[in-house]
Amino acid sequence: MLCLTCHRVRPALNRADYTAERAWLILRRGLCSCSGPPPQATRPAVVRKHARTAK
């Protein structure tokens, strides 16, 4: 429930996450405004040449 970066309460993912405990923690610690985890590094797409067909 707490952000590992700023140690504040992370935004809720669904309606069931909105509880009295969560509201109390937001008042005590604040709401996380981090951008979230960094996107995973992706490798550039591999460009493949067309396979040659035997004649």
Q: What is the 3-state secondary structure (H, E, C) of 8-36?
A: CECCCCCHHHCCHHHHHHHHHHCECCCCC
Residue 9 has pLDDT above 90, yes or no: yes
And the tokens for 41? Answer: 């590094």
Q: With pLDDT > 90 as the criterion, what percentage of the chain qualifies?
A: 38
- pTM score, two decimals? 0.55
Residue 13 has pLDDT above 90, yes or no: no
Cα 37 off chain centre by? 5
Query: Which of 12, 8, 14, 1 has its CA nearest to residue 32?
Result: 8
Do 10 and 2 contact (CB within 8 A), yes or no? yes
pLDDT confidence of residue 10 = 92
